Amino acid sequence: MSERDLAYIAIIKSLAPIPEADKIEKAEVLGWECVVKKGDFQVGDTAIYIEIDSVLPEYPCFEFMRSRKFRVKTIKLRSQISQGLVMPLSTITDIDHSFDLSKLQEGDNVSEVLKITKYDPECLSDIDLEPQAPKSWLKNQWPFIKYKLFAYKKIKSVNGFPSDVPKTDEVRVQKMGGVLARCVGARVYIAEKLEGTSVSFVYRKRGNWLARLFGQNYLFQACSRNRIVFSSNKKVLSTHNTAKLNDKYGIESRMKLLGRNLAIQGECIGPKIQANVYRLPEIEFRIFSAFDLDKQAYVGYYELVKVCDQLGLPMVPVLAIDEFLLNDIKYYVELSKGYSAINPKVLREGLVIRTLDSSLSFKSINPEYLLNQKD
């Protein structure tokens, strides 16, 4: 299962009573704890698990979610936190009467058949970045002409994002399943997951002698989580957060000085971003990873520290280094609880656990933080 699988087939692992609750009980599904109606399920039953931050279609079977705008969120009922929605298999046939339930197996993704989408405010914020049609033939053809003249290595994009740079999505610990068991004992470091908007800055040293003659021997790109916002060879959208960060930190100049084919990725936090949960007076940037474009791999922890030092740019808060990876989902959920290193007066969003060689990573979201989230 990937981070974009929003609904999938799962088995009810356990059921437990909730104190002072007669009509509901706690169900464990794929490491998540959810509140279900008492008597609806038995241990070992097959069900549909729908993740938090899923947006449900306005169908009769989901009508009870209308008051919550059809968005699945972390909630607390009585004293029990519920992270997700557990539905009977009949939900599928309520939506698609022709669907054959006998085809389903544990872990199967049913997001598409249920018409479920991801709640993604960052994606919505990118609507204003849609490019406008050029007013002249020359403007329309200039990128092609420039490529031909300066012999840049052609970099394709997928839905507006560079194809050779991974997007910044971490898988939740509850989805790790057997991965933790296979990798138990690996050396990891633990960093705070910041609540902001993820951005990427990409530097490529490219071009032939003609490009160097005209000072165009590199290409710098600034990206939101979903798309390229501006490049060194295009007009800067000065109102976008990536442009503000570039102006504040001089990121393009620093990456040019480093002269390495590299993508640095991090979190943009501050005013007008996720309600400025850290109460910062101005916009800030924190790096959480660096991707080597030549090797097509993330650099390890110690190299990442070196890169940040060379660029003179800050990292996300690192809380522990050289820990052993445990095969214990509940441990990492509990570990995620606590307060932010950016502002110790506010709850942290969670943690990112990453191996020292950066070959494996996942996130653990603080359930107490999720309870305090606003729409």
Residue limits of CATH 3.30.470.30 in the chain: 137-371
pLDDT number for residue 129: 47
Averaged pLDDT, 198-207: 87
The one-letter code for the residue type at 314 is P
Q: What is the pLDDT of residues 16-26, one digit of tens each?
A: 999 988 899 99
Phi, psi (deg, nearest 5) at residue 242:
-65, -40
**Is residue 358 left, alpha or beta, with left meaning phi > 0 and alpha meaning psi from -120 to 50?**
left
CATH 2.40.50 segments of the chain: 7-119
Pick from 256, 252, 314, 250: nearest CA to 285 = 314
- pLDDT of 215 > 70? The answer is no
309 burial type by CB count under 10 A (0-12 exposed, 13-18 middle, 19+ buried): exposed
Mean pLDDT score of the chain: 86
Q: What is the pLDDT of residues 60-108, one digit of tens each?
A: 999 999 998 999 998 888 888 899 999 999 999 999 888 888 888 888 9
- Fold (CATH) for 7-119: OB fold (Dihydrolipoamide Acetyltransferase, E2P) (2.40.50)
Q: What is the fold of 137-371?
A: D-amino Acid Aminotransferase; Chain A, domain 1 (3.30.470)
State both tokens at 282.
């101005």
Distance of CA 324 to the CA centre of its chain: 24
| Number of other CB atoms surrounding residue 153 within 10 Å | 12
User: Given the structure tokens 């001089």, which residue do they identify?
Assistant: 250
Residue 335, classed as helix, strand or coil, is helix
Supply the pLDDT for residue 355: 97
pLDDT > 80? residue 187: yes
Would you place residue 230 in the very low, low, confident or very high pLDDT band (cuts 50, 70, 90)? confident
Give 22-27's long-range contacts (Cβ < 8 A, gap of 24+): 24/77, 24/78, 24/80, 26/80, 27/86
pLDDT, one tens digit per residue, over 108-125 is 999 999 999 988 766 555
Checking DSSP bridges between strand 46-50 and strand 7-11, what pairing results, if any? antiparallel
Task: Name the residue with higher pLDDT: 126 or 351.
Answer: 351
Q: DSSP assignment, residue 161?
A: E
Phi/psi-derived region of residue 138, left when phi > 0, alpha when psi is between -120 and 50, beta in every other case:
alpha
| Bridge partners, 219 (sequence order) | 204
pLDDT for res 213: 63
188, containing H or E segment = strand 187-193
Q: How high is the pLDDT of residue 234?
A: 60
What is the band of 211 on the pLDDT scale with cuts at 50, 70, 90? low
Q: Residues 254-300: pLDDT tens digits?
A: 999 999 999 999 999 999 898 999 999 999 999 999 999 999 999 99
Distance CA 300, CA 322 (A): 12
User: Quick check: 185 and 325 in contact, CB under 8 A?
Assistant: yes
Angle at 273 between CA 269 and CA 278, to 5 degrees: 55
Position 361 pLDDT exceeds 60:
yes
